[in-house]
Amino acid sequence: MNLVLRVPAYLGVGLVWLYRATLGMLFPTTCKYHPSCSEYAVQALRTHGLVRGGAMAGWRLLRCNPWSRGGFDPVR
Amino acid sequence: MNHLALLFISNPLTPLEHIARHVLNWLHGTVGLPWAWSIVALTVIVRMLLVPLTVRQIHSMQNLQRFAPQMKEIQKKYKGDKQKQNEELMKFYRENNINPAASCLPMLAQLPVFLGLYYALKHFSRENPSLHPGSLSFLHFIPSIAAHTTTHWGGYVLLVVYVGSQLASSYYMSASVDKTQRTLLMVMPVVFVFVIARFPAGLVLYWVTTNLWTVGQGLITRRLMPKPAAPEKRTSRSPRQDDGDGGGNGAKPDPSGQPPAQPARSNAPPRKVRRKKAGRR
């Protein structure tokens, strides 16, 4: 990923970290996936940039519902 | 540039604040509830909408507890390597067709409501300048739901109720068998009390209501959904069975038909139990 794409992606990563440090602490939960949704979001943003990585993270959050089976689901 | 786009640029959370304020206004103005009870009603509405999600979650949590002995075994085996431990647990879930209880979506669904309410309460007095000072009180011990929780002694009472309700709700919602995680869940409310003391009292009211709802839901579902059958109670005089059913060690029977992981039974003679003489007072 070139620098132009990397900067917005790192902004997204920063937001995830902000969430983890604040609201993520207030609403403790354990994710049914491995890596957890926030970790997945960080990895997806770093690998695929803000737009695609963000969409992947959003799709993962939607999949992380009580009806899904969870499991090992790394960023590809 | 249209108005909506401008709103997002000024504060991306402004639309949430507007929605929260509209709902509160409706509950207060049209339904006729006092402001504080409007917050309670808003919380109840949100939680009612989330019932299908949470019932499903509680159901899978109870299912998960049946596999607790095997999961503990995996955790013990990979104690040093957290990553490997998680991977093995996920594999175990998949092999045994388990749906892990905790998921992110129900929690995230509450987040917009929480944030909207936070901003709505923060700007409450500014948006409603003609309010009667007493109209924001709650049960006569919180003078204003829009003020910081610690501005009045009633707020401290609310904080104590919050800690109690949070502990009770964590007890019902923690599906994890990991002891550290459970301890963390129990310690967290005590730590967060210092954070939320700076929040408007109405937000703490939201929190207490949602926690109490969780507890009530936990109590009802526990009563409605029968717990997995407990192993038969045996005394030292009961005849021995050689089917390896766990011999009263508290392990629950495994519905998948696999024998639960446990130490092999030794051939030692039955343990003698020294009984106390009848000394009931």
> How confident is the model over B47-75, as pLDDT tens digits?
888 888 777 777 776 777 777 778 778 87
Q: Does the CB of B93 have a partner CB in chain A at under 8 Å?
A: yes
The verdict on a CB contact (< 8 Å) between A28 and B110 is no
The verdict on a CB contact (< 8 Å) between B111 and A61 is no
Using CA atoms, how far apart are residues B231 and B252, in angstroms rounded to an integer? 6
Task: Please give the backbone phi and psi of residue A72, each rounded to the nearest 5 degrees, phi first.
Answer: -80, 120
**∠ CA(B229), CA(B232), CA(B234), 5° rounding?**
160
- pLDDT band with cut points at 50, 70 and 90 for residue B1: very low
Q: Roughly what angle, to the nearest 10 degrees, separates helices B201-224 and B35-49?
A: 40
Positive/negative CA dihedral, B106, A16, A61, B104:
negative
Q: Which residue of A has its CA nearest to B211?
A: A27
What number is the average pLDDT over the span A35-60? 89
- pLDDT band with cut points at 50, 70 and 90 for residue B181: low
pLDDT mean across residues, chain B:
70
For B245-267, write each residue's pLDDT tens digit.
333 333 334 444 444 444 444 45
Please say if the pLDDT value at position B222 is more than 60. Answer: yes
Which pLDDT score, from 0 to 100, does residue B260 have? Answer: 43
Which pLDDT score, from 0 to 100, does residue A30 have? Answer: 65
Q: Does the CB of B220 have a partner CB in chain A at under 8 Å?
A: no
What number is the average pLDDT over the span B22-35? 82
Percent of chain B with pLDDT over 90: 0
Using CA atoms, how far apart are residues A36 and B265, in angstroms rounded to an integer? 39
Which pLDDT score, from 0 to 100, does residue A1 have? Answer: 63
Closest CA to B170 of B191, B149, B156: B191
Angstroms from B91 CA to nearest CA on chain A:
7
Give yes or no for a contact between B119 and B203, defined as CB atoms under 8 angstroms apart. no
Q: Which residue of B has its CA nearest to A30?
A: B102
Q: Does the CB of B92 have a partner CB in chain A at under 8 Å?
A: no
Q: Which of B81-85, B135-139, B168-172, B195-199 shows the lowest mean pLDDT across its residues?
A: B135-139
Q: Which residues contact B142 (CB under 8 A, 6 or more apart)?
A: B36, B152, B154, B155, B158, B201, B205
Q: Is B78 exposed, middle or buried (0-12, 13-18, 19+ CB in 10 A)?
A: middle
Percent of chain A with pLDDT over 90: 9
Contacts of B104 in chain A (CB under 8 A): 29, 31, 36-37, 61, 64
Query: Measuring CA to CA, how many Å separate B182 from each of B133, B158, B176?
Result: 42, 24, 7
Q: What is the ipTM score, two decimals?
A: 0.73
Q: Domain residue spans in chain A?
A: 3-72
With an 8 Å Cβ cutoff, the interface of chain A facing chain B consists of 23, 25-34, 36-37, 61-62, 64-72
Please say if the pLDDT value at position A53 is more than 80. Answer: yes
Q: Choose among B56, B114, B188: nearest Cβ to A67.
A: B56
Task: Please give the backbone phi and psi of residue A34, each rounded to the nearest 5 degrees, phi first.
Answer: -130, 125
Strands A33-34 and A71-72: parallel
Using CA atoms, how far apart are residues B106 and B114, in angstroms rounded to an integer? 13
Report helix, strand or coil for B140. coil
Angstroms from A2 CA to nearest CA on chain B:
27
Name residue A71's beta-bridge partners. A33
- pLDDT band with cut points at 50, 70 and 90 for residue A59: very high
Query: Measuring CA to CA, how many Å separate B244 from each of B230, B240, B260, B264?
Result: 15, 10, 9, 9
Task: Please give the backbone phi and psi of residue B202, each rounded to the nearest 5 degrees, phi first.
Answer: -60, -35
Max alpha carbon distance in chain B (Å)? 87
Q: Which of A34-48, A56-70, B50-64 shows the lowest mean pLDDT across its residues?
A: B50-64
What number is the average pLDDT over the span A21-32? 66
